[in-house]
Structure 1
Amino acid sequence: MSEDARAVKAVEEANAEFYTAFEVGDLDQMSRVWADGEHAGSLVCVHPGWPMLRGRDEVLRSWALIMANTSYIQFVLTDVEIDVHGDQAVVTCKENVLTADEDTETGFLAGGSIVASKVFVRDGEHWRLLLHHGSPILSTAEEE
């Protein structure tokens, strides 16, 4: 396997770890996904419908809040593209999301789609998330 192919595979695994951490609600795992050290102040996260969050502490606080208030979430990724440029990588994809609320009588289930962009940086042997931006895709009458 070429160096480029190994880098793409490693970024793909880091991206999958992000979604696994979110789906299982593991804040420690989510914390390991995001860059730290010299990059901690530069982290940026834009959750769909939220203002921009900057800095490791603010970003991880947002994930703690989201995970504490999400009883079930599942992602099916499509249109995943990974481009590696030296020690940085860009990942774009469509997140097809299913979520449920176990606290309601019906176990309310909802779905939607988000386009996501991420920037990862190489930190030694690992790829860590530097930027995540998710934007909801609004349904049109033709799609429904």
Structure 2
Amino acid sequence: MPRVKPLQAALMATPDETEAQFYEALQHADLDRVMSVWSDDEDIACIHPGGPRLVGAQAIRSAFESLFANGSVDARISQVRRIVAGGFAVHHVLEELRVATPEGPQRAYVLATNIFVKTPQGWRLLAHHASPGSPRQVQEFSDEPSMLH
């Protein structure tokens, strides 16, 4: 299956813009748009919570196609930590998923790492790795910055 034409680079001029496009596409179950944020690299990778490592555009596309068979994914990110080094950026995020259940709306939490690469077409997603979270993990624990007096 041919790759879809990527969104224009102007829409993904920063890793933050690419990340926003990814999560907005999830919320609309827009498979073509999800795939347009990914790099053209053969070794792009995606790991869904509790799932196998998916390598390559076809494997990733198939997984999102299956996921969207159940509807859109209402995922919102917070607690974004950013590291940018040259042509790469790493974002550690907390995803809050809102899920409809027979008992009513529920929330689930996922800890995710998104890795972006700068390309001539703008910033693209190179890897997405998500792990199951819990309400306890909503809090963040980190080293306190040291201060010299």
TM-score by length of 2: 0.76
The gaps in structure 2 that reach 5 residues or longer are: 1-12, 140-149
TM alignment of 1:88-127, pairs within 5 A = 88-100=88-100, 106=102, 108-127=104-123
RMSD: 2.0
The gaps in structure 1 that reach 5 residues or longer are: 1-8
- 1:42 alignment partner AA: D
1:110 to partner: Cα distance: 2.4
Partner of 2:67: 66
**% identical equivalent positions:** 30
1:75 to partner: Cα distance: 2.2
1:139 to partner: Cα distance: 4.7
Partners of 1:12 and 1:82 within 8 A in 2: no
More helix by share: 1
Q: Counterparts of 1:139 and 1:17 in 2: how far apart (Å)?
A: 26
Q: What do the CA deviations read for 1:77-115 (whole angstroms, capped 9, x no partner)?
A: 2110121111111011100110226xxxx5842211010
1:125 to partner: Cα distance: 4.2
TM-score by length of 1: 0.79
Is residue 42 from structure 1 mapped to residue 37 from structure 2 by the alignment? no
Report how many aligned residue pairs link the two structures: 125
